[in-house]
Structure 1
Amino acid sequence: MGVQTVARERLYGVCDYYDAESLLTDAERRVLGRLRAFLDEQARPLLADYWERGEFPDQLARPLVDLDLMEPADLAGTSGPDRAPARGIYHGFRTFELARTDGSLATYYTAQAGLFRTAIRVGASAEQQARWMPQVIDFSLKGVFSLTEPDHGSDIAGGLSTSARRDGRDWILDGAKRWIGGAATADVLAVFARDEADGQVKGFLVDREAAGVTVQKIHGKTALRMMQNAHITLEQVRVPDAMRLHNVNSFRDVAAMLRAMRSDVAWIATGMAAGAFEAALRYVTERQQFGRPVGSFQLVQEKLARMLGNVTASLSLVVRLTEQQDKGIYRDQDSALAKMQTALLMRETVALAREVAGGNGITLESDVARFHADAEAVYSYEGTHEINALIVGRALTGESAFTR
């Protein structure tokens, strides 16, 4: 006699073909359902307009925070600083849900929930974490991760040129950072600078309104247009030693943060591929050509199958990576492989989605165009394809192919 199971209503349906969602608890799915309702009802109607304007819909910021998504009390049954942390699979699907709606929304939220939170979790001392982490979780302390520089991206490990020098009980910072998403609305900037005394990289929480800090919006972007990226200039900026991240004493400590954060970007890439696939599927089932739905043609169905294969493969990668990290297994090559491959598959998926939507695939009305353009930014940030490939290659061969 076969085992009978009770059918459950699925959140992700066709884009989650092998039902990775089944790994979620009912409580986790309820929280994600709240997020889905918010995105569908309040966010989605605004996306095309604000993307074209190159502005972030600020009216979504407070309601998004109020959803209590970072460490939901619903999942632990308790509230406050002692609540049990949410599982990695929940955090992953939260990012996936945001990204399948819009890449800028996902990037905006993970700037706090992923990048800045990781800077505190990994870089701050136990005393600093006790003081700052509750504020990070409830967004009363908003921050951004400021590593990339105008002249140093892929070579930041050796090329980082922002300087820090000790001056009594303070530090003096000079330099510039670029492509820092959300800087204009942050309370503090997690800035990484090279100590002039020992040549090692240190981390600092810099008040955005401190004397000597200038934040300028980067204009003219063709991807993630809603996300406000900034160029930051630091001129003789004074930072108390109490605001130095006490566990960041070399670039090795920064690399530990990157190792943890790349899984977030892999979930974003997977979610964007899923969103593009769903938008394309909607289009080809509604659009008629030659007296038939576009989706009835063989060549279109082949492209749909490839898109679904890409999304399914990506979900499998990020789910397994997240399971490993929940066990405390963090390896550079694991997160690098996941980011490299999901971003590559995302890039192909959004191109196929645009293709099956024809000329309408370049208009914001179809949603496909947004995913197609935004994917280029995600493909490059948090480590380019080539850099991540070299991290994996180094692990495979034991030989570093990085240029010195």
Structure 2
Amino acid sequence: MTTSSKAPHALPEPNGDFYQLSRSLSAEDNQLRLKVRKFMEQEVQPIINEFWSRDEFPFELLPKFKTLGISGLPIKGYGCPGKSTMLMGFIMMELARVDASISTFFGVHTGLAMGSIAICGSEEQKREWLPEMAAMNKIGSFGLTEPDVGSGAAGGLATTARREGNKWILNGQKKWIGNATWGDLTIIWARDVADNQVKGFIVENKSPGFHVDKIQHKMALRVVQNGLITLTDCQVSEANRLQNANSFKDTAQVLKMTRAAVAWESVGCATGAYEHALRYAQQREQFGRPIAQFQLVQDLLFRMLGNITSTQALCYRLSQMQDEGIMQDEHASMAKGVCTVRMRETVGWARELLGANGILLDHHVGRFVADAEALYSYEGTREMNSLIVGRAITGFSAFV
């Protein structure tokens, strides 16, 4: 890369918040957002490519990550901050703007695991587990997907739960479970053999009969440590069964909340790729001038920023609805489906702008391109989300 010395004035800093939506946050909330941004830029960005390349998690960052005080952000009480889901969205965006693996680690812990307990747990379970998880003294995972069951989890879970007195016996496998190789507990969703309904269980990862193998050879989210969990007559007490999770409809309440967070996360991923691409275009010279001066490059940047701005606005309204208590499944699904499609398009354009350099980790964009593929798929594929929206707008279900 060649740095241009011909710029007639100071160049604008890359800024994905083109419509300045962050200005709507209170001073206190914006200060927390900026605190997270500073941590990600100063602590994570300098080292994340190395860990991504090695397929390892940067455990050295956890002590500083804890001090951010953002775990369980929208949960009220139990040692959690009790902030708005709007702020949670901005935080997810800030995390993914630097690295989608870190945002995924955080989303699994604070959204899926803590969210399951907050939504489906009893008062006693919330008091027992949430404070330690809010302090990040215990890290959680979420075990829903199975080797042969992804999109069909509502009716096809093969993992079983059988009650014997005050204990439950779990058998089966769970795949793609983030944080499972090193975390402390996993929310396992299993089908009760007695009534055929899906129920949730808080399972400590050290329990007998709970075994995890790390999934190898991933091309996306390599920093996230995904596990294949095998449950072999794993015993869980009735006290650790989520008392308000009695069917997949209850599981879906958790997924509705976290699906909205993934929409924000995808905006962050797109933003990170765009800002790196813009900075590159301002510095990279060809034919005697920075490539940012060429019309076709500016058109690519316009398209990227247009995708980011429109999806950010979509997420903003979604969070307003969530905070007002009027968000439905179809609203979260629309955001997740649309935002991840636009993210995928945007990171592709960023890679295109960088040419051959776009596939090098040195320039970061290649990491965003790879990680976007995982965000595009998890928490409901585009096809599944389109059917959820389709059912709501037509009155007919097209699910098979």
Cα deviation for residue 23 of structure 1 reads 1.4
Q: Which amino acid aligns with 1:219?
A: Q
Q: Which amino acid aligns with 2:45?
A: R
Deviations 1:185-221 (A, max 9, x none): 2111100000000000110011101111110100010
| Structure 1 Cα separation of the partners of residues 289 and 137 of structure 2 | 54
Deviations 1:297-345 (A, max 9, x none): 1111111000000000110011100010001113110000000000000
Residue in structure 2 matched with residue 8 of structure 1 by the alignment: none
CA, structure 1 residues 369+288, in 2 after alignment: closer, same or farther (shift >3 Å)? same
Gaps spanning 5+ residues in structure 2: where? 1-12
Q: Which amino acid aligns with 1:122?
A: I
Cα deviation for residue 127 of structure 1 reads 2.4
SS of equivalent to 2:174: strand
| Structure 2 Cα separation of the partners of residues 148 and 85 of structure 1 | 29
Residue in structure 2 matched with residue 312 of structure 1 by the alignment: 309
Task: Please say if 1:15 is aligned against 2:16.
Answer: yes
SS of equivalent to 2:39: helix
| Structure 2 Cα separation of the partners of residues 62 and 115 of structure 1 | 21
Q: Which moved more, 1:162-171 or 1:39-48?
A: 39-48
Q: Which amino acid aligns with 2:116?
A: A
The correspondence for 1:384, drawn from 368, 375, 381, is 381
Deviations 1:238-275 (A, max 9, x none): 10000000000011111111111101100110000000
Cα deviation for residue 13 of structure 1 reads 6.6
The correspondence for 1:146, drawn from 143, 147, 171, is 143
SS of equivalent to 1:176: strand
| Structure 1 Cα separation of the partners of residues 80 and 214 of structure 2 | 37
| 1:180-219 mapped onto 2 (5 Å cutoff) | 180-219=177-216
| 1:71-150 mapped onto 2 (5 Å cutoff) | 81=78, 85-150=82-147
| Contact 1:294-1:300 within 8 A present in 2 as well | yes
| Structure 1 Cα separation of the partners of residues 188 and 232 of structure 2 | 13
| Contact 1:195-1:201 within 8 A present in 2 as well | yes
Task: Please say if 1:264 is aligned against 2:265.
Answer: no
Seq. identity, %: 45
Cα deviation for residue 140 of structure 1 reads 2.3
The correspondence for 1:362, drawn from 316, 338, 359, is 359
Residue in structure 1 matched with residue 241 of structure 2 by the alignment: 244
Q: Which amino acid aligns with 2:262?
A: V
Deviations 1:351-393 (A, max 9, x none): 0000000000000011110001110000000000100011011
Residue in structure 2 matched with residue 44 of structure 1 by the alignment: 45
| Structure 2 Cα separation of the partners of residues 248 and 178 of structure 1 | 21
| Structure 1 Cα separation of the partners of residues 80 and 130 of structure 2 | 12
Question: Could you tell me the TM-score, scaled by structure 2's length?
Answer: 0.94
| Contact 1:88-1:326 within 8 A present in 2 as well | yes
Gaps spanning 5+ residues in structure 1: where? 1-11
Residue in structure 2 matched with residue 229 of structure 1 by the alignment: 226
Q: Which amino acid aligns with 2:330?
A: Q
Task: Please say if 1:155 is aligned against 2:128.
Answer: no
The correspondence for 1:299, drawn from 283, 286, 296, is 296
Cα deviation for residue 83 of structure 1 reads 7.2
| Contact 1:70-1:91 within 8 A present in 2 as well | no
SS of equivalent to 1:36: helix
| Structure 1 Cα separation of the partners of residues 137 and 355 of structure 2 | 45
Q: Which amino acid aligns with 1:22?
A: R
Q: Which amino acid aligns with 1:308?
A: L
Q: Which amino acid aligns with 1:96?
A: M
Residue in structure 1 matched with residue 7 of structure 2 by the alignment: none
Q: Which amino acid aligns with 2:150?
A: G
Cα deviation for residue 84 of structure 1 reads 6.3
| Structure 1 Cα separation of the partners of residues 327 and 312 of structure 2 | 18
Q: Which amino acid aligns with 1:97?
A: E
Equivalenced residues, count: 388
SS of equivalent to 2:35: helix
| Structure 1 Cα separation of the partners of residues 96 and 313 of structure 2 | 17
SS of equivalent to 1:177: strand
Q: Which amino acid aligns with 1:317?
A: L
Residue in structure 2 matched with residue 288 of structure 1 by the alignment: 285
Deviations 1:164-183 (A, max 9, x none): 00111100000000000001
Cα deviation for residue 80 of structure 1 reads 7.5
SS of equivalent to 2:52: helix
| Contact 1:260-1:330 within 8 A present in 2 as well | no
Cα deviation for residue 132 of structure 1 reads 2.1
Q: Which amino acid aligns with 2:198?
A: V
| Structure 1 Cα separation of the partners of residues 331 and 318 of structure 2 | 7
| Structure 1 Cα separation of the partners of residues 79 and 213 of structure 2 | 38
Question: Could you tell me the TM-score, scaled by structure 1's length?
Answer: 0.93
| Contact 1:217-1:230 within 8 A present in 2 as well | yes
Residue in structure 1 matched with residue 3 of structure 2 by the alignment: none
Residue in structure 2 matched with residue 5 of structure 1 by the alignment: none
| Contact 2:16-2:305 within 8 A present in 1 as well | yes
Residue in structure 1 matched with residue 250 of structure 2 by the alignment: 253
Residue in structure 1 matched with residue 62 of structure 2 by the alignment: 61
The correspondence for 2:372, drawn from 366, 371, 375, is 375
Cα deviation for residue 117 of structure 1 reads 1.4
| Structure 2 Cα separation of the partners of residues 402 and 373 of structure 1 | 30
CA, structure 1 residues 71+390, in 2 after alignment: closer, same or farther (shift >3 Å)? closer
Q: Which amino acid aligns with 1:64?
A: F
Q: Which amino acid aligns with 2:212?
A: V
Q: Which amino acid aligns with 2:33?
A: L
